[in-house]
Amino acid sequence: MTTVDVDLLIIGAGPTGLYAAYYAGFRGHRIAVVDSLPELGGQVTAMYPEKQIFDVAGFPSVKGRDLVAGLVEQANSASPDYLLDRSATTLESDADGVTVGLDDGTQVRAGAVIITAGIGKFSPRPLPAGDDWVGRGLEFFVPSFAPYAGKDVVIVGGGDSAFDWALSLEPIAHSVALVHRRDAFRAHERTVQQVTASSVEIITRAQVTALHGDTVVESVDIEVDGETTTRPCQAVVAALGFIADLGPMQQWGLEVRKRHICVNPAMQTNLPRVFAAGDITEYEGKVRLIAVGFGEAATAVNNATVAINPDAKVFPGHSSEGS
């Protein structure tokens, strides 16, 4: 059995986890970062590498892959021990530290843990008309735009991802139609306005009822107000959201509300020496933005520092101050 001994363990290598790793290095900690994915960057790398992100301070917009690259470079200044392609399965906390077991048998002993694992394991919400078409023209996210060049694309959904992908694919696809079951959308108003002003066809009070083709999708049926029309289509993106699953974390004794981990203003959970930051957290007034996750990561690291070393101060001083 392999044992890893560090000051601070970060569970989750998405943007919040990577920033937490950098900041923990700034506080002088030895760090390990665990993630179930084989690459750094979490859901951004796995699902949205080409997506433009607009809510990160200092960037009018930044591609997901470029944001991750910068965060990895920043985190590497702390020389973290990356434990990728393995999941945290057990957690036991005591007065002296936390022991986390991984699915490959590794045991990580840390003075404190920060959970930054998105909102757990995601399962895409299925498209009722087309589960059998996955990989044959039906996808749930768009990691690369190139395969959609010159195609007739139908995007199903009314949230941010649906509109972002519609806006990004419109210049390279032959045609883009966005199908949503309601007239109202959950996407940002600015993005809705941009898509509305583009060549994307927005079809509301509608649903995709069937996909057709021999081996790959060639056309789809769209029902609008009880009437069905068939249109050419070689690619369907079901941007219907994901069902969150906290997996083994649900057995750790954490206080959970609506599949999110409850924290106090110090980002501390109900378990000693266990903190959380990013999308996985829940508290009154919570706003789930990457920018908010960065601030929560800094708060979690600074408070975890005191748990690791009671003689330390929560406030570390400003990084811009001279020595």
pLDDT in tens, 34-44: 998 889 998 88
Q: Is residue 217 assigned to a domain?
A: yes
For Cα atoms 263, 269, 270, give the angle at the middle one, nearest 5 degrees: 120
Q: Is residue 71 assigned to a domain?
A: yes
Q: Is residue 70 assigned to a domain?
A: yes
Q: Is residue 220 assigned to a domain?
A: yes
Q: Is residue 87 assigned to a domain?
A: yes
Are 99 and 42 within one domain? Answer: yes
Are 185 and 282 within one domain? Answer: no
Report the distance separating Cα 276 and Cα 91, nearest Å: 14
Are 214 and 263 within one domain? Answer: no
Q: Is residue 249 assigned to a domain?
A: yes
Q: How confident is the model at residue 322 (pLDDT cuts 50, 70, 90)?
A: low
Overall average pLDDT of the 189-217 stretch: 94
Are 230 and 276 within one domain? Answer: no
Are 72 and 92 within one domain? Answer: yes
Mean pLDDT of the chain: 91
Supply φ then ψ for residue 197, to 5 degrees. Answer: -85, -5
Residue finishing a domain among 185, 213, 238: 238
Report the distance separating Cα 161 and Cα 242, nearest Å: 11
Residue finishing a domain among 179, 213, 238: 238
CATH code, domain carrying 109 = 3.50.50.60
Overall average pLDDT of the 287-315 stretch: 95
Residue 323: C-alpha distances to residues 317, 318, 319 (Å): 10, 11, 10
Are 74 and 106 within one domain? Answer: yes
Are 13 and 62 within one domain? Answer: yes
**How many domains, in total, are found in the chain?**
2
Q: Is residue 318 assigned to a domain?
A: no
Q: Is residue 316 assigned to a domain?
A: no
- pLDDT of 323 reads 47
How much is the pTM? 0.79
Give residue 299's region: left, alpha or beta (phi > 0; psi -120 to 50): alpha
How far apart are the two ends of the chain, measured CA to CA in Å?
42
Are 105 and 253 within one domain? Answer: yes
Each residue's pLDDT tens digit, 231-287: 999 999 998 876 656 788 889 999 999 889 999 999 999 999 999 999 999 999 999
Each residue's pLDDT tens digit, 72-121: 999 999 999 999 999 999 999 888 899 999 999 999 999 999 999 875 55
Are 300 and 153 within one domain? Answer: no
Are 132 and 160 within one domain? Answer: yes
Are 69 and 141 within one domain? Answer: no
Out of 76-90, 124-138, 155-169, 246-260, which region has the weakest mean confidence (pLDDT)? 124-138
Are 88 and 179 within one domain? Answer: no
Q: Which domain holds residue 161?
A: 126-238
Residue finishing a domain among 188, 206, 238: 238
The answer, yes or no, to whether residue 52 has pLDDT greater than 90, is no
